[in-house]
Chains A and B, each alone.
Chain A
Amino acid sequence: MAYALQQLINGITLGMIYGLIAVGYTMVYGIIGMINFAHGDIFMIGAFLSLIALLGLASLGITAVPIALALTLIFAAALAALYGWTVERVAYRPLRGSFRLAPLISAIGMSITLQNFVQVSQGARVKPMEALIPGGFQIMEADGFAVRLSAMQIMIVVTTLCVLAIFTWLVTRTPLGRRMRACEQDLRMASLLGIDTDLTISVTFIIGAALAAVAGLLFLLYYGAIDFFIGFIAGVKAFTAAVLGGIGSLPGAVLGGLLIGLIEVFWSAYFSVEYKDVAAFSILIVALIFLPTGILGRAEVEKV
Chain B
Amino acid sequence: MTATLSLGGVSSFYGAVQALRSVDLEVNPGEIVTLIGANGAGKSTLMMTVCGNPRARTGTILHEGHDITNLPTHLIMRRGIAQSPEGRRIFGRMTVHENLLMGAEAAGRTDTPALLEEVLALFPRLRERAGQRGGTLSGGEQQMLAIARALMSRPRLLLLDEPSLGLAPLVARQIFGAIRELNQRTGLTVLLVEQNAYQALRLAHRGYVLVNGAITMAGTGAELLARPEVRAAYLEGAHA
Identify which of A59-67, A79-87, A126-134, A190-198 touches chain B: A190-198
Which one of B74, B91, B93 contacts A191 once the chains associate, using CB atoms below 8 Å?
B74
Residues of B with C-beta under 8 A to A178: 94, 98, 101-102, 105
Residues of B with C-beta under 8 A to A189: 85, 89, 91
- Contact of B166 with A by CB under 8 A: no
Q: A192-B51, A193-B106, A195-B106 are in contact. Are A181 and B74 (CB under 8 A)?
A: no
Question: Closest Cβ of chain A: how far from B77's Cβ, in Å?
Answer: 4
Which one of A179, A182, A192, A196 contacts B83 once the chains associate, using CB atoms below 8 Å?
A192
Main secondary structure of the interface of A (DSSP, over half): helix
Specify the chain B residue showing the minimal Cβ separation from A172: B98
- Contact of A185 with B by CB under 8 A: yes
Q: A182-B91, A185-B92 are in contact. Are A192 and B73 (CB under 8 A)?
A: yes
- Contact of B153 with A by CB under 8 A: yes
Task: Categorize the interface residue count of chain B.
Answer: 20 to 34
Contact B98 A194 (CB under 8 A): no
Question: Closest Cβ of chain B: how far from A191's Cβ, in Å?
Answer: 4
Contact A182 B94 (CB under 8 A): yes
Residues of A with C-beta under 8 A to B98: 178
* CB within 8 Å of A: which B166-198 residues: none
Of A175, A189, A195, A196, most B-chain CB atoms within 10 Å: A189
Residues of A with C-beta under 8 A to B101: 175, 178
Residues of B with C-beta under 8 A to A141: none
Question: Closest Cβ of chain B: how far from A292's Cβ, in Å?
Answer: 19
Residues of A with C-beta under 8 A to B73: 191-192
Contact A182 B102 (CB under 8 A): yes
Which one of A188, A194, A197 contacts B107 once the chains associate, using CB atoms below 8 Å?
A194
A178 and B105 alpha carbons, distance in the complex (Å): 9
Residues of A with C-beta under 8 A to B66: none
Residues of B with C-beta under 8 A to A196: 72, 74
Q: A192-B85, A194-B77, A196-B74 are in contact. Are A181 and B107 (CB under 8 A)?
A: no
Specify the chain B residue showing the minimal Cβ separation from A191: B73
A299 and B53 alpha carbons, distance in the complex (Å): 29
Number of interface residues of A (CB under 8 A): 17
Main secondary structure of the interface of B (DSSP, over half): loop
The proximity string for A residues 174-217 relative to B, scoring 1 for CB distances below 8 Å and 0 otherwise, is: 01001101100110111111111100000000000000000000
Question: Closest Cβ of chain A: how far from B223's Cβ, in Å?
Answer: 32
Contact A191 B77 (CB under 8 A): yes
Contact A193 B85 (CB under 8 A): no
Residues of B with C-beta under 8 A to A193: 77, 82, 102-103, 106-107, 149, 153
The proximity string for A residues 152-187 relative to B, scoring 1 for CB distances below 8 Å and 0 otherwise, is: 000000000000000000000001001101100110
Q: A178-B101, A182-B102, A189-B89 are in contact. Are A194 and B108 (CB under 8 A)?
A: yes
Contact A182 B106 (CB under 8 A): yes
- Contact of B78 with A by CB under 8 A: yes
A246 and B92 alpha carbons, distance in the complex (Å): 18
Of B77, B82, B102, B149, most A-chain CB atoms within 10 Å: B102
Of A179, A186, A194, A197, most B-chain CB atoms within 10 Å: A194
Q: A191-B53, A193-B77, A193-B149 are in contact. Are A185 and B94 (CB under 8 A)?
A: yes
A233 and B78 alpha carbons, distance in the complex (Å): 45
Question: Closest Cβ of chain A: how far from B132's Cβ, in Å?
Answer: 16
A196 and B71 alpha carbons, distance in the complex (Å): 12
| Contact surface of B with A, Cβ cutoff 8 Å | 51, 53, 72-74, 77-78, 82-83, 85, 89, 91-94, 98, 101-103, 105-108, 149, 153
> Can you pick out 11 interface pairs between chain A and chain B where the beta carbons lie within 8 Å of each other?
A175-B105, A179-B102, A181-B93, A181-B94, A189-B91, A192-B77, A192-B83, A193-B153, A194-B74, A194-B78, A197-B74
Nearest 5 A/B pairs, CB to CB: A193-B106, A194-B77, A194-B107, A189-B89, A191-B73
